[in-house]
Amino acid sequence: MDDFQNADNTLVSNTTETLQTPVPTTPNPNDKTPTKKPPAVSKPVLILAVIVVIAIIGLLGYKFLFSDSTDTLDEELEVIPTETVVSDQSGMPIDPTEGSDLNSDEALGNYTNYSLEKLQSTTGNKAVLFFAASWCPTCKALELDIRNNISSIPSNLAILRVDYDTSTTLKTKYGVTYQHTLIQVDSNGNEIRRWFGSPTLAELQTQVN
């Protein structure tokens, strides 16, 4: 520190302060210590990516299997048997299965298989078409009750059994979509009324007009 006097004899102290500024360090080319690089992809992001890929593969596999089964179902549905509908002179369709007895003792009094001739023979009387299937438990119950009480069917009532599984023409004509459908018709086959699921012969007769 140097002291000197200025013009007015005032002692002035000249202080030299050395300011230390940080010297930037440059990497030493001879330093072979490897520098740590941050990971390109963090572990949680990698796990999430794997989960997304697995989910996409699963969805594609499910879509493939589902579309394959749908195509198979469509192919099965496209196989529809054709049927030629034949009508008699009155315009009443003739069912190709009419008159075919399912059992040798099917014709019991006024309970018998449907045929056009049998229906037309009921002129002046009452006729009921009974759409029944052999695998239908309620149909079996009603048929058993009819057989056990066959003598109680009035002489002016004919119950004509229609095979639900094979009588496609009659099902189409009357719009029958499920078994145990009962339809009262006149001798020309015109519908009078319909109902479903009569459990007994007695209950069936109460529905007939």
pLDDT at 35: 58
pLDDT at 27: 56
Q: Is the pLDDT of residue 201 over 50?
A: yes
The DSSP bridge pattern shows strands 157-163 and 111-113 to be parallel
User: For 2-16, 22-36, 166-180, 191-205, which range has the lowest pLDDT when averaged over its residues?
Assistant: 2-16
What is the rounded distance in angstroms from the CA atom of residue 200 to the CA atom of residue 49? Answer: 67
Mean predicted confidence (pLDDT) in 135-141: 95
Q: Is the pTM of this model over 0.75?
A: no
pLDDT band at 95 (very low <50, low <70, confident <90, very high): very low
Architecture field, domain 89-207:
3-Layer(aba) Sandwich (3.40)
Q: Is the pLDDT of residue 169 over 90?
A: yes
| Mean pLDDT estimate for the chain | 75
pLDDT at 157: 94
Q: For the chain, give the longest Cα–Cα distance.
A: 157
What is the rounded distance in angstroms from the CA atom of residue 30 to the CA atom of residue 26? Answer: 11
What is the rounded distance in angstroms from the CA atom of residue 23 to the CA atom of residue 170? Answer: 106
pLDDT at 182: 97
